[in-house]
Structure 1
Amino acid sequence: MAERNPLVIANWKLNGGIDLLCTSVAAFIGKHFETDIAICPPYIYMRDMLNFLQHSEIIVGSQNISKYASGAYTGETSAKMVKQAGGGLCLIGHSERRQMFGESNASCQIKVNQALEVNLMPILCIGENLQQRDAGVTKDVLFKQLEETLGEIECSGEQLCVAYEPVWAIGTGKAASPDDAQNIHAYIRCQLASIKGEDFAEKVRILYGGSVNKDNAADLLKNKDIDGLLVGGASLDAEHFMQICKVADAN
């Protein structure tokens, strides 16, 4: 079985400012973790975060990248720009991007390729909404997202991550139970094996996201197929996020 070091990612979304940046830097600078820790602030704060944390172990990532490498695309930021600025990873296909900005599996595939081409780790986000969950088609939705995004991608499992984020749990306080999350993660790994091969599936890290906090982190992470966490609201409190990272280290 492949060794998969846990990864915990803070996604600030359209939140925060210099105050959050400063408190987060103060909380994490000089700290050592066995777990991989990443923070994805809004684009405008990425360079400041990178400068402040350049001698730390913290990875700074982006919340999105353009599907275009360059050109007349006002307002876009390419994978190469994020990588050259010092970014280490990027979120792709977050449910809010899918719901509000029309992100599709096809555009996610392009973005994953763009990231891989410049050695920027893509974190592919997948998940079902409440209607799909109630209709009993969760697994069908997840398989389609995986197959249409990763089926033609050429890479090894350690080069990317998958984040399972049930849309009905994001920002609602209704996290999936640890057992339910493990069952879905095991299903995702099984489907990754069918799409990309068993070696790939054993190496790829699968993260859970959806109302993660310091109280449920340990129970989620104790499961063998949950390799880390994608943290939203709780990451806006630097001390709370620190507690989640400590829980991940203890597991």
Structure 2
Amino acid sequence: MSRTPVIAGNWKMHLTKRKASALAREVAARQGEATGRRCILFPTFLHLDHVRRNLKGSSVVLGAQNCHEQKEGAFTGEVSAPMLRDMGAQVVLVGHSERRHVFGESDERIGAKLISVLRAKLEVMLCVGETLEEREAGRTFEVLERQAKMALAKVKPNMVERISIAYEPVWAIGTGRTATPDTAQEAHAELRRLVAGILGDSVAADMPLLYGGSVKPANATELMAQPDVDGLLVGGASLSVEQFGPILDAAPAS
């Protein structure tokens, strides 16, 4: 099954409006109107509109880093999926390790957020992954199974085409440590097996699975060569076109 490669940049809480706009223009120029690969950028909420304007004329997709699980209400400081859609976002990250471990988001809440994004007719990129302690205890697959099952439990058949999953081992995020290509492939193969058990074989065969965790130009091509690695979720290296450009090119534009 042929799956379109995806290269995504998560800008986290970085960049001023001016720098975000400039970087968006540079990435848009690098991507152009390519359709053989997808490029997604996840700026901060404040910069969504500025980045959107600077992506015009390119095939780069605008994404958001998080959302609240409710459509509206008395939730000071929060943003809902319908609001993000109104701002031009097409994809929303859910379950990033920093949301889980810094902000204490539970598997249950992440599942609720995922459904809220899909109900808003947006795409969702679900992040899953184990900590170093869990990995050293031999619990990687157990953790992936729990996170995937809790997040995907209420997904309906008409939603599945708008879901992708990013495997981000927590021990490799921002640490300089990267899962070897073999380790990434092993986890991705297990994820695909889990998705098949939850949503069916055909859904699993079509679902894009990304790797995230200290992705750099030096390891991008080898990671992308793995049969079950369909894309890369890039953190720090997405903050400059000098680094993000070569990573983007690890997925041929065709």
Whether TM exceeds 0.5 here: the answer is: yes
Residue in 1 that maps onto 2:207: 204
Residue in 2 that maps onto 1:245: 248
Residue in 1 that maps onto 2:166: 163
Provide Cα deviations, 1:37-76, integer angstroms capped at 9, x if missing partner.
0110111011101112133211111000111110111111
Residue in 1 that maps onto 2:195: 192
Matched, 1:235 2:234: no
- The 8 Å contact of residues 157 and 202 in structure 1, kept in 2 or not, is answered as no
In 1: Cα distance, 2:182 partner to 2:28 partner: 34
With the length of structure 2 as denominator, give the TM-score of the two structures.
0.95
Matched, 1:96 2:98: yes
SS in 2 for 1:247: coil
Residue in 2 that maps onto 1:9: 8
SS in 2 for 1:172: coil
SS in 1 for 2:89: coil
Residue in 2 that maps onto 1:32: 33
Task: Write the mapping of 1:99-178 to structure 2, written as runs, cut at 5 A.
Answer: 99-155=101-157, 156-178=159-181
Task: Give the Å deviation of 1:104.
Answer: 1.1
Q: Bigger CA drift: 205-214 or 110-119?
A: 110-119
- The 8 Å contact of residues 211 and 231 in structure 1, kept in 2 or not, is answered as yes
Task: Give the Å deviation of 1:29.
Answer: 3.0
Letter in 2 for 1:143: E
RMSD over aligned CA atoms reads 1.4
Question: Residues 22 and 239 of structure 1: is their aligned pair in 2 closer, same or farther, counting only changes over 3 Å?
Answer: farther
Match of 2:226 among 223, 227, 231: 223
Letter in 1 for 2:15: G
Task: Give the Å deviation of 1:250.
Answer: 6.5
Q: Bigger CA drift: 151-160 or 236-245?
A: 151-160
SS in 2 for 1:101: coil
SS in 1 for 2:92: strand
Letter in 1 for 2:3: R
Letter in 2 for 1:234: A
In 2: Cα distance, 1:177 partner to 1:157 partner: 29
Which segments of 5 or more consecutive residues in structure 1 lack a partner in the other structure?
A: none
Letter in 1 for 2:151: T
Match of 2:66 among 41, 64, 67: 64
In 2: Cα distance, 1:109 partner to 1:139 partner: 19
Task: Point out 4+ residue stretches in structure 1 off by more than 3 angstroms.
Answer: none
In 1: Cα distance, 2:147 partner to 2:239 partner: 29
Question: Residues 250 and 51 of structure 1: is their aligned pair in 2 closer, same or farther, counting only changes over 3 Å?
Answer: closer
With the length of structure 1 as denominator, give the TM-score of the two structures.
0.96
- The 8 Å contact of residues 158 and 205 in structure 1, kept in 2 or not, is answered as no
Aligned residues: 250
Which segments of 5 or more consecutive residues in structure 2 lack a partner in the other structure?
A: none
In 1: Cα distance, 2:224 partner to 2:50 partner: 31
In 2: Cα distance, 1:233 partner to 1:223 partner: 22
In 2: Cα distance, 1:19 partner to 1:242 partner: 19
Task: Give the Å deviation of 1:28.
Answer: 2.5
Question: Residues 90 and 38 of structure 1: is their aligned pair in 2 closer, same or farther, counting only changes over 3 Å?
Answer: same
